[in-house]
Amino acid sequence: MMTTIKITLAAARVNAGLTQAQVAQKLHKTKQTIVNWENGKTTIDTANFTVLCAIYGIPESAIILPNKSS
């Protein structure tokens, strides 16, 4: 049985060789939005999450989303 290793949004971005600014530009978002998603300050919606996974070249099931912090 194969175990899937899960990584964080930030790790997926770094593995893809992208900066927060580059990802923000691709998604037409601010860099702060990317930072907030990675730190769990705001929740990423499904559409943007799907696009991020495609950009990072990683399946959605391999990403650990942070719990939203208050």
Check which CATH number belongs to the domain holding 39 and give it: 1.10.260.40
SS3 sequence of 42-67: CCCCHHHHHHHHHHHCCCHHHEECCC
- Cα-based angle 6, 11, 17 (whole degrees, multiple of 5): 130
Task: Output the pLDDT for position 65.
Answer: 83
Task: Output the pLDDT for position 5.
Answer: 81
Residue 69 lies in a domain: no
Q: What pLDDT tens digit does each residue of the chain (70 aa) get?
A: 666 688 999 999 999 999 999 999 999 999 999 999 999 999 999 999 999 999 999 999 999 887 765 5
Domain range enclosing 20 = 7-60
Task: Output the pLDDT for position 67.
Answer: 76
Residue 1 lies in a domain: no
**Close Cβ partners of 15 (under 8 Å, ≥ 6 residues apart):** 7, 56, 58
Residue 41 lies in a domain: yes
* Total of domains in the chain: 1
Residue 65 lies in a domain: no
Which sign, positive or negative, has the C-alpha torsion 57, 5, 44, 23? negative
Single pTM value for the model: 0.86
